[in-house]
Structures are given as structure tokens and as C-alpha cells.
Amino acid sequence: MSDAHVALVVHAGRPDAVALAASTATELRARAIEVSVVTIERSSVFGERDALDNLTPDMLVSLGGDGTFLRTARRAHELDIPVLGVNFGRVGYLLNMAPAELHGTILETLSGAIPIEERSGLSITFPLEGQTAGLFVVNEASLEKTVPGHVVRISSSIDGEDFLTYAADGVLVATPTGSTAYNLSAGGPVLAPSIDGFVMTPVAPHFVIDRSVVLGGEQELTLGVVGERPAVFVVDGVSVAILEPGQTVRCRRHTRRLKVVVLAEVGLGQRLRESLRQGHE
């Protein structure tokens, strides 16, 4: 364990997170563990590089809110290493441990004493500047209206078979991990993190079935912009492209899972209950 490398990713706007990162780094280095501290100002825009892209640690630790965790988790997925989140935000479903537990939790994770959950994420492809781009999605991806007061029309097909065309504020596709975020607010179901699949939920649909559809891990969903209005494509809370009528997004479960450090004594019921309660405070 002494040759391990841990990277702490800190939100610069949270002094308590910055202080905890500094004290934790000191404690870990005293045990001959290599520590890198990366400070980020905001959630990165897709395609922009930052200091995280230059690191290849054995474990990533996020200290901030959901945006910090999502950026850290994407890098952890690229490296196929565990990610641990410490919650300095309001809603704690993703980041399910207290700051005071950080030092001991890192050491126990490195020694193999703490379990790691493998969670399904999404692999999406979409048109960007005349080419096809691909991204890994931790929480959700959505096609949303661009004109206030007007709906956007989104077609859907499952495994190449036409399904429904929605006139709505948008249509989102959420992972099990992200099912308690935008998906839940839109009336979608909560999926246990262990489920091999994802869910499609229309947002404020007009004159059409408003139920969510849960898809299996081997299925592919295609969403297309139809009608006269474009749609903004949003991934994990970040706008990544404007899609014009006729353009499509393809979604399926990513073949590689995201490795998330969890606390064995905190079960799904407790995590969900605390998340729902905090989200409505």
C-alpha cells in the first residue's frame, strides 16, 4: 500500500473541502502514500482538459458537490480505477460518507477492506461539428427544448424499432446512479445501483403517454429531433451541443462499469431515504 497513488479533487469554492484535502494529504504522505491534490474552479466542460487529465493514480477522491463528483467519476472511469466521494453539497445519494471518515476510508479502500460497487453508465454518440462524438455518462443525458414556451419533438426507437414521438419539454435517459436526480424530479422511477439497465423519462410531455420506460443493459435507445425546432443536448448537467431536426443520439449501457467506493454499513434504503429527505429541505 505504501506505493499507492491517491489524487484528491477539490472544489476551490469550498474552504472546508480545501482544508480537509490538505490535512488528509499530510496524513497519507506520512504513511509513504503518494498524494496529488487537484483544485477545480467549476465542473469542466466536455472537451476541455484540466489537471486531472495528466494524472494516473490508483484511486480518485472527490471533495465537493455533485458537479465535482461527476467530473472526478468520468476520469476514474477512463482509468478504470475506484472513485470515492465526500459530500460537501446538499444531496448525498452519490457521495455517501462524512468528511470525518475520509482518512480511514482511503486507507481501508487501498487495503481492500471496503467494498467497491460496479455501476452501469451510459455510452452515447451524437453529432458534433460535422463528426460523431462519444461520451461516458454518469448520471443522465437529455434532449431539451431551446425555445421558452414551446415544446420540442423527440422521436424514440428501441433496438431499431420505432417507439413513441414525444412533444415535451425534453426527454432524458438516466443511469441507475442518476435515477434519483433529474429523472426522479421528472417523475421517473428510482433504480437500484446494481441494476443492469437504464431508464427513459419524458419531461412534461404533451398529449402522449407520460410513463418512463426501463431498458435492459443490452438494449440500444435512439432519440431523434423531429419537427421544426432544435434541441439542446445536455450530459450530466453540462450543455454539449445543439441538435437540429433530423439529428439523433444513440444511447446504450457502457461496456465498462464505474467503480464506486461505498460504505458497507450504508444500504440502499438509507442512502435513498437521506437523499430524498435532503432534496426536499
For domain 5-119+257-279, give the CATH number.
Answer: 3.40.50.10330
**Ranges for all domains in the chain classified under CATH 3.40.50.10330:** 5-119+257-279
Q: What is the pLDDT along the chain (281 residues), one digit of tens a residue?
A: 668 999 999 988 888 889 999 999 999 999 999 999 999 876 555 666 778 888 999 999 999 888 888 999 999 999 999 999 887 765 444 555 667 778 889 999 999 998 899 999 999 999 998 899 999 999 999 999 999 989 999 999 999 999 999 999 999 999 999 998 899 999 999 999 889 999 999 999 987 778 999 999 999 999 999 999 999 999 999 999 999 999 999 999 999 999 999 876 555 666 566 556 554 44
The fold of the 122-253 domain, in CATH, is Tumour Suppressor Smad4 (2.60.200)
Q: What positions carry a catalytic annotation?
A: 66
What single-letter amino acid sits at 160? Answer: G
User: What pTM was computed for the model?
Assistant: 0.88
**Ranges for all domains in the chain classified under CATH 2.60.200.30:** 122-253
